[in-house]
Structures are given as structure tokens and as C-alpha cells.
Amino acid sequence: MTKAQSLFSLTRDIRTRLFISVLIVYVYFINGFNSPNEGSRLALIMAIVEQQSFKINDFMEWTWWIDYSEYPPGSGNYYSDKGPGLSFLGIPFYFLGKFVAYRLYSDPLLVNGTLASFVVLCGSIFTVLSVVVVFEFCKLLEINEKTSLLTALSYAFGTIAFVYGKTFFAHGTSAFLLISAAYLTVHYFQNGRKDSTKVFLAGLALGYSVCIDYQNVLALPPILAFYAFKREFRKLLLFLVPYLACLGLLAWYHFVIFDSPFSTPYMYTGYYGEVQSFQAFSYPMYLGLWGLLFSTYRGLFYFSPFLLFTAYGFVLFFRRYPQEAIWFASTFLLMLFVLSVYVVWHGGGAYGPRLLLSVIPFIVVPIGILLDTPHIANNRWFQVIFFGTLAYSIFTIATGAVTDPVPFPWTPNPFLEYNLPLLIGGNLDSALFKYISPYTIILVPILLLVVNLRQIHLLKLRNKLLDTINAFRKALP
């Protein structure tokens, strides 16, 4: 088989086509950075690459003088106020961006915009990988392929994964690592408990997720309980080795910067004083729960009402896989309840409950089980209600994703009051759309068609093209 034939066969694989298709949509709507959150992470990348340091003094403009830490306080020494994990992952993309930017442009604004876009590509790729893992997880739970694909696409475009899949926020990558740890663990138990490598990789994924976003440590207790229920205590130790190694890496980073492995950037943040102590977890829980789930401000079910079907999905999930269902529900609920008492539960400038994105895959998979239950999925009223709410979810999510993923934090209803007017006005948040041509948007359906079309005439065209290439090669001296 030639290289061209191998590439064509690869694009026929449904996982590959799913990955490429979702990535095309996400990447088209990349437009550099939208917030100091992303800029703080880029500042750390630039400090590491350009100065071999964690100190971001020379790159503070990227933080907007908002998202940073200062240690010792008042010293004028500045650091990123985020976990370093995503910045570490973004380093290769920064190098690639430098390679391209400095060969195309001399204008510093264009160079910086190109660098930012390439770094954002890192977040997009990992978010899209989380979509693929949701698809594979559904198949692992013996959900048919079409339903697994529908579930994965619902997650990709019907939840805030789309909104933050075009940014350098930590949440999409966190979602990939958390659901990957779950997938690898379940795969190990469902395949004869033979491949211990999957247990090790699961621990690595979950451990590194903490390096990216500290709140991901909340995913540890439910998975530990799952291993305990399965009476796999030796494998639990194997799981903990890479997990603790990642925490060791994080502790070393803290020690280098703050002189203590137990100090975090949030203890020395220069702008958000309310997150510096345990008083940060003093918000009334009932208000936080309402805000995170139902409010027009950040409500998960307001922006993605199709996710309400996860309630019934968990009932069916529990009937088939009771321990896995308890684990998934516990992971989501633990994160939800802790964030509900966090004073910054809303995530500042955000479209939807961005702090919950890392655990949204855990409530999407049960919907796949619901859709795979014939007497429910074939009910006409169910179809009308489900696909109606899914269509609304896709519209509200796309409205935020294609306009501005970081609306002003003081907007009570970002969808209706800010992002929808932007959409109606044709203000799309895409570098290609804004700075090259609005007509570039036609590339999206064309590329999707090319990736997914499998008609016989395309196969014939491919064969003719390969024959022409081979004939040309033979004619060469």
C-alpha cells in the first residue's frame, strides 16, 4: 500500500474523521486570545522558552495585569497564577508558531497574533480528543456506533466544549485527561484485567490533570473508591505511582517559585484577592447550585438543556453498570458541590459554567446509554423533545463559540444580551473571517465534505489520481 493509499484509508476510519471534522470547525473560529487567563499561560510559555525561567516579568502585558501572582508580595517578581501543566503542553506549539510567524510577518502585532493562534491550537486538539474519547467510551459500553457518534457530536457542539475548544483555557484539556483516565480504567476491567499499562496511564492522565487545573484533584476520591470496590488494591498502587509523580512535578514547580511545595499561585494572586484563602469557599451553596445549573448567567441546563436527559440516562447506566454509574455521578456531583460554594463559581468572564467543563463528559456518556435503549429512543415524543432540546443547545452554544467566548462578567444573560446580538450583526470571532475574508467560512463545509464523503465516484477519482501519480513517477528518468 502506498503512502497516499494509507492516508486515504486513515481518513475512512470513523475516529479519525470525527477528530478531523470537529477540529476543522473549532480551528476555523480561533482568533488568538480572548482573556488574560489564556495570556497568563502564554506568558509562562514565553518565559520558559525565551528566558529559561518561570518568572514572567517581561511578558506581563499578556496577563493584562490581572491574571498573575507576585512573590514575594511587593517584590515586583511576577509569575503565572495558573497551574503550569497546560503551558508545558503548549511549548511545542509555541515553537511551531515562532517558526511560521517570523517567516511570514515583521509586524509585531501579526507575529503575536500568529503565536497566540498556534498556542490555542494546543487546547483545541486536546478538547477534540475528549470528543473522540467520549465516542470510544460509548462503544466500550456496548452502545452501537451510530449512537456513540451522535453522543460524541452532541458533546462536541451541544456543550461548552465548543466554546472553550477554540481557546487556551484549561478546561477542554482537563476534560480529555479526566475522561481518558476513566476510559482506561473501565477498559482495563472490561478486558480481563490483563493490561496493567492502562492503569498506569490512567493514573498519569489524572495526575497531570491536576498540574493543569488544581480543581481536578476532586476527581481522585471517586476513582479511588471505584478501584476499592473492585478489590484491586495492587493496581490501585500502580495507579497512584504516576499520579503522585505528577503531584511531585507540581510540588517542585511550587518550590522553585514560592519556596514551598505546598504554596500555590492562588495564594499570591495580585488581582483576585477573594481566592487567596479558605474563605474562597464561603459562597451560599444554594445560590451557587442555582447559578451553575439553571441561571441565565451560567446555567449548565440553560445553555445545554439536552443534558437534562442525563438524569434518566444514569438510571439506565446504573442498571447496566452500577459501580461505574456511581463513580461517574460522584465525580460530577463532587465537582459541582465544591464549585457551588466557591466565591468565583461563575468563572469571571465566561460563556456558560466553564469550571464544570472538565466533568461534563461524565454526564454525557449516560445519555448515550439512554439513546441506545430502543423502547425509549424509538418513542416519537422522546425524539421530538430530545432533538428539540439538542437543537436549541447547539444554537446557544454555537452563538457563544462563534462570537465571543469570554463575554463581560457583568452581563446577566450573555446569550440574549451580548452574544446573540453579535451573531445577528455578523461579528464572528474568527481570524480567517475577520482578517482574510468573510468568504473563508465556505471552507468549513467544503473541508467537512472532503473528509467525510465516501461515495464511489470519489473512490474512482482517488484511483485515477494514484494511477496518474504512479505513471508520472515511472516516466521520470
**Element housing 222 (H / E):** helix 220-229
Provide the pLDDT confidence category of residue 449 given band limits of 50, 70 and 90: confident
Q: Is the pLDDT at 106 greater than 90, yes or no? A: no
pTM of the complete model: 0.92
Alpha-carbon distance 353 to 252, whole Å?
A: 31
Nearest to 82 by CA among 255, 253, 205: 253
Alpha-carbon distance 222 to 338, whole Å?
A: 14
As a whole number, mean pLDDT of residues 392-420 equals 96
Note the pLDDT of residue 315. 97
Note the pLDDT of residue 63. 94
pLDDT digits (tens, 9 = 90+) for 169-209: 999 999 999 999 999 999 999 988 888 999 999 999 999 99
From residue 356, give the alpha-carbon distance in Å to each of 124, 171, 260, 359, 362.
Answer: 17, 8, 29, 6, 11
Q: Say which residue the cell 510577518 belongs to.
A: 105
Q: Which of the pair, 434 or 246, is modelled with greater confidence? A: 246
Q: What percent of the chain has pLDDT over 90?
A: 79
Note the pLDDT of residue 458. 53
pLDDT digits (tens, 9 = 90+) for 73-95: 999 999 999 999 999 999 999 99
From residue 418, give the alpha-carbon distance in Å to each of 26, 414, 421.
Answer: 21, 5, 6
As a whole number, mean pLDDT of residues 367-377 equals 95
Q: Is the pLDDT at 252 greater than 50, yes or no? A: yes
From residue 214, give the alpha-carbon distance in Å to each of 106, 171, 209.
Answer: 38, 11, 8
